[in-house]
Structure 1
Amino acid sequence: MHSSPLSRYRAEWFNGVGDARRDILAGMVGTFALIPEVIAFSFVAGIDPEVGLFASFIIGIVIAFAGGRPAMISGAAGSVALVAAALVHTHGLQYLLAATLLAGLFQIIFGLLKLDVLMRFVSRSVRTGFVNALAILIFSAQVPQMLHVTWHTYAMIAGGLAIIYLAPRLTRAIPSPLICILILTAISIAFPMPIHTVADLGRLPASLPAFTLPAVPFDGQTLRIVAPYALAMAAVGLLESMMTASVVDDLTETASSKARECTGLGLANVAAALFGGIAGCGMIGQTVGNVRYGGRRRLSTLVAGVFLLLVMVPLRPWVAQVPVAALVAIMIMVSASTFSWGSIRDLARHPKVSGIVMVATVIVTVATHDLSAGVTVGVLLSGVFFAFKVTRLMDVRANYDPATDTRTYTVTGQIFFASAEIFADRFDLRDTVAHVLIDLTASHLWDITAVGALEDVVTKMRHHGIAVEVIGLNAASAILVDRLAPTVGSPVA
């Protein structure tokens, strides 16, 4: 018996006190993992840290209700910040808010049109490369916090990692990263030492975000300025969110609505812009951390957003004292658990082209610090390798019958833009036989290039006085030929 949409949605929020406790604690860990990256990404975009923090709070609240993937944490992310930096540099924050508003509208349209199906073109090799590259980027983002510091910082990081990995042996009631934060903060307060704290990362907000419209002229000139950036922010945000949702699908062995995630992200970004925040998207490092420590439902996403607000304002003096070393230890753990270590072994076992696609995705992503660039290269390589593979499966065999002076060409495989030229080269256009029979029973014509190649072969043979007949067209191929090259079907010289 199928459950109603309302009951399924309710189950995505609550499934017992024990699960609720795990979701709440995991969401709190996600918040602490969110803070340093959001502040760092804010600097990348050239904006004040509170703009990124406000955005992450608003996005977290909205996406908890409107998103399509429970347990996914979204916020102001680095990939979007990289796109936004140029706009902020040339036109300022208000134009960024306008671009964020427009990017959200683009994403809503994307979701309503259900264009999330484009994710089907992202192969498993690309997804693995995406995850591995992200793990490397998460770790590399912690390196600046480990340079030019005293031995106290290294000791705190080592102690934090020990707590994270050993605490679960004693209790799993409280996520070990949260225990790490509490213990290291207590130590740093009790024994003052020269280490960086969250207060050193940037100014935390002292008040709640307020509703405001972007202070820009709402005219054609503004649209021309912000539209290209908005489209890029929308595309990058959707790509990263869809990839993150797919990773969580695999981790939790559950399905999610990618179209709803697109629409939900759009609504979240529109809300973020109206409260003075930058556009955001799914954050895979924080999401994986949330899932690893028990977050499975929308409650964990909501807690991550709400707790961020508590952290930003009422608990600001306490959070300011959290050692950065504790956050670095958490992100190192997330990096190690995110990386697909089995993919290194699979390089020797899987087809070489799959390994090339995975490695290329990693290299481009790490080199550019742009997840969309890496995924784009991976998808293009997958498409090229697939086209080559399908092309090799296409074959044309010729057989001559002297009794009827007929040469029969039996075609097998797929004929499309990548194989059409090879298909055409297999025919002797200056043959001296009276009749030619082209048997397409075991083949399929996919596009205008394939039909054009067949039409050229038939036309040239008939020009040399050969009677040509095409047989075996399946229904789809026949419709394409009748519409694009109707003379092909006539078996006359």
Structure 2
Amino acid sequence: MNFKTSLHQDWLSNIRGDVLAGAVVALALIPEAIAFSIIAGVDPKVSLYASFCIAVVIAFAGGRPGMISAATGAMALVMVTLVKDHGLQYLLAATVLTGLLQILAGWLRLGALMRFVSRSVVTGFVNALAILIFMAQLPELIGVSWVVYPMVAAGLAIIYLLPLVTKAVPSPLVCIVVLTAVAMVLKLDIRTVGDMGQLPDSLPVFLLPEVPLNLETLRIILPYSLTLAVVGLLESMMTASIVDDLTDTPSNKNRECAGQGIANIASGFLGGMAGCAMIGQSVINVKSGGRGRLSALVAGVFLLILVVFLGRWVKQIPMAALVAVMVMVSIGTFSWESLKNLRKHPPSSSIVMVATVAVVVATHDLAKGVFVGVLLSGIFFAHKVGRVLRVSSETAEEGNARAYSVVGQVFFASAGAFTSSFDFKEVLQRVRIDVSRAHFWDITAVNALDTVVMKFRREGAAVEVVGLNEASATLVDKFAVHDKPDAVERLMGH
């Protein structure tokens, strides 16, 4: 794709939709960013500057147009101990190192690892996030004035009913504007964005983290930076896959890894915390009509303008309006079809999906949930493939010889079944093992083949292995011992 085509497709093909969607995202980012700063134990401006910086940089450097990145709760949770024990400056240094590690991940093309994440894990990830987004709104709905409930209901009505009349303006934006106007005109005594924390009143400035440049500092920040890098990339890659599905367009995962790194380095040098892609804001962006890079740029720039220059108006936005928007995101994010598929899909797929949801919701840690999901997927896959192995045989030469035929995959999960399929006590002169319809994948498989051949030889039979495909033959030639002169001694441990 040449520059002119890329410029038009990513930046100019959907200007109106991207600008309006970016405005909605910027408004929804403010209370979340402030909440994340409270979680991390830092001043609200740290997360607001980070959200501005990351959104703007990722618009140019990221590999997934239409995806929103900023300060996130998953990253904030990792920072708590670092900030408490060592302070803000070490957090900024850790943020810069996080960015460097993510750039390294992009250079190593680790984005390709997403192909090992099954659809069941992605569905569980999405459902868990939808639940967490909804749960995050509960503090704004419990123990509050009764006025909040009709305000939230009115907001949801605007969000869902306005598109039936017109789609000229994103309904979440109309919801925020209308409810803010109502709250101001009626002077309603309800919680507003201003109650969340003090908004910054100046632009961010470039600064170097004030930490000693020595190995002790590296020892302190490296464990946190590694965790931040992994959590950030995992959440970003998963979000990119979800936006791929929502927009039916591809993304460059390796470029996204590097882009997240560049954005975090910039954030650290501008006094911001580390961040990553946000599933909730990305869904808001897509549902509001955002498709290109312009939406992320507008979200970042508009966010800064709102908090620095229009702070007195932003403070008046009722939290009820933003709760309505986030409830819409929660409902839209959850894969309701997955509930029906629990009966239709294989039990293993359903278990992976439910386990991913359960771990994420229980721990509020996306990385742990996805790790459990991927681990279970691997176990179920290995078990399933390991069972698809068949060894048949027939006698030849008046019963003095037997020909075995192996069909399937031989690897660590099926090696035991492979070995037990042969009768080593039968008195034979010759044994022929045809593996032309089999594949040997690992050292365990090669060892199993060694064991079979040597056991037959110990019983006095001449063994011939035929039909190895090129990949299997390479592995066997390199690691097998049954064709070596001292094979029997090696196997018997002499």
TM-score with structure 1 length normalisation?
0.96
Is 1:10 matched with 2:5? Answer: no
Tell me the secondary structure at the aligned position of residue 473 of structure 2: helix
Code of the aligned partner of 1:161: L
Tell me the secondary structure at the aligned position of residue 440 of structure 1: strand
The 1-side partners of 2:421 and 2:339 are apart by: 42
Which residue does 2:66 correspond to in 1?
A: 71
Match of 1:143 among 138, 143, 158: 138
Which residue does 2:379 correspond to in 1?
A: 384
Higher mean displacement: 423-432 or 262-271: 423-432
Which residue does 2:208 correspond to in 1?
A: 213
Contact persistence 1:205–1:313 (CA under 8 A)? yes
The 1-side partners of 2:404 and 2:427 are apart by: 15
The 2-side partners of 1:478 and 1:200 are apart by: 69
The 1-side partners of 2:480 and 2:410 are apart by: 15
Code of the aligned partner of 2:140: Q
Which residue does 2:464 correspond to in 1?
A: 469
Which residue does 1:434 correspond to in 2?
A: 429
Matches within 5 A, 1:450-461: 450-461=445-456
Tell me the secondary structure at the aligned position of residue 11 of structure 2: coil
Is 1:393 matched with 2:391? Answer: no
Higher mean displacement: 429-438 or 189-198: 429-438
Contact persistence 2:453–2:482 (CA under 8 A)? no
Contact persistence 2:179–2:318 (CA under 8 A)? yes
Contact persistence 1:394–1:411 (CA under 8 A)? yes
Quote the offset at 1:170 in angstroms: 2.7
Quote the offset at 1:455 in angstroms: 0.8
Which residue does 1:349 correspond to in 2?
A: 344
Match of 2:99 among 68, 81, 104: 104
Which residue does 2:491 correspond to in 1?
A: none
Quote the offset at 1:427 in angstroms: 1.8
Which residue does 2:277 correspond to in 1?
A: 282
Tell me the secondary structure at the aligned position of residue 465 of structure 2: strand
The 2-side partners of 1:89 and 1:424 are apart by: 56
Code of the aligned partner of 2:92: L
Quote the offset at 1:359 in angstroms: 0.8
Matches within 5 A, 1:126-205: 126-205=121-200
Contact persistence 1:470–1:489 (CA under 8 A)? no
Tell me the secondary structure at the aligned position of residue 437 of structure 2: strand
Which residue does 1:47 correspond to in 2?
A: 42
Q: How many residues align?
A: 487
Matches within 5 A, 1:242-321: 242-321=237-316
Contact persistence 2:51–2:69 (CA under 8 A)? yes
Is 1:233 matched with 2:216? Answer: no
Quote the offset at 1:278 in angstroms: 0.6
Quote the offset at 1:262 in angstroms: 0.6
Change in 2 beyond 3 A, CA 1:257/1:9: farther
Tell me the secondary structure at the aligned position of residue 64 of structure 1: helix
Is 1:418 matched with 2:418? Answer: no
Code of the aligned partner of 1:35: I
Code of the aligned partner of 1:8: S
The 1-side partners of 2:199 and 2:430 are apart by: 83
Contact persistence 2:450–2:481 (CA under 8 A)? no
Tell me the secondary structure at the aligned position of residue 188 of structure 2: coil
Tell me the secondary structure at the aligned position of residue 405 of structure 2: strand
The 2-side partners of 1:353 and 1:449 are apart by: 25
Post-superposition Cα deviations, 1:13-42, rounded to whole Å, max 9, x if no partner, equal: 002xxx311110111101111112211111
Higher mean displacement: 359-368 or 463-472: 463-472
Code of the aligned partner of 2:414: S
The 2-side partners of 1:219 and 1:418 are apart by: 47
Q: Which ranges in structure 1 are unaligned for 5 or more consecutive residues?
A: none
Quote the offset at 1:131 in angstroms: 0.7
The 1-side partners of 2:213 and 2:365 are apart by: 31
Higher mean displacement: 80-89 or 23-32: 80-89
The 2-side partners of 1:224 and 1:408 are apart by: 61
Quote the offset at 1:401 in angstroms: 2.0
Quote the offset at 1:171 in angstroms: 2.2
Tell me the secondary structure at the aligned position of residue 468 of structure 1: strand
Code of the aligned partner of 2:136: A
Change in 2 beyond 3 A, CA 1:489/1:350: farther
Tell me the secondary structure at the aligned position of residue 443 of structure 1: strand
Contact persistence 1:411–1:440 (CA under 8 A)? yes
Code of the aligned partner of 2:67: M
The 1-side partners of 2:271 and 2:394 are apart by: 73
Code of the aligned partner of 1:198: V
The 1-side partners of 2:79 and 2:473 are apart by: 49
Quote the offset at 1:489 in angstroms: 8.4
TM-score with structure 2 length normalisation?
0.96
Which residue does 1:366 correspond to in 2?
A: 361
Post-superposition Cα deviations, 1:147-202, rounded to whole Å, max 9, x if no partner, equal: 11111111111111111112222321111111111111111111112200001111
The 1-side partners of 2:47 and 2:98 are apart by: 16
Quote the offset at 1:461 in angstroms: 2.1
Post-superposition Cα deviations, 1:293-319, rounded to whole Å, max 9, x if no partner, equal: 100111101000000001110000000
Match of 1:61 among 56, 60, 72: 56
Code of the aligned partner of 1:196: R
Which residue does 1:333 correspond to in 2?
A: 328
The 2-side partners of 1:243 and 1:54 are apart by: 24
Quote the offset at 1:351 in angstroms: 1.3
Quote the offset at 1:322 in angstroms: 0.4
Q: Which ranges in structure 2 are unaligned for 5 or more consecutive residues?
A: 489-494
Tell me the secondary structure at the aligned position of residue 127 of structure 1: helix
Tell me the secondary structure at the aligned position of residue 203 of structure 1: coil
Give the RMSD, CA atoms, in angstroms: 1.4
The 1-side partners of 2:2 and 2:302 are apart by: 31
Quote the offset at 1:402 in angstroms: 4.6
The 2-side partners of 1:487 and 1:465 are apart by: 14
Matches within 5 A, 1:118-129: 118-129=113-124
The 2-side partners of 1:195 and 1:371 are apart by: 32
Post-superposition Cα deviations, 1:324-362, rounded to whole Å, max 9, x if no partner, equal: 000000000111111111111111111111111111111
Higher mean displacement: 351-360 or 283-292: 351-360
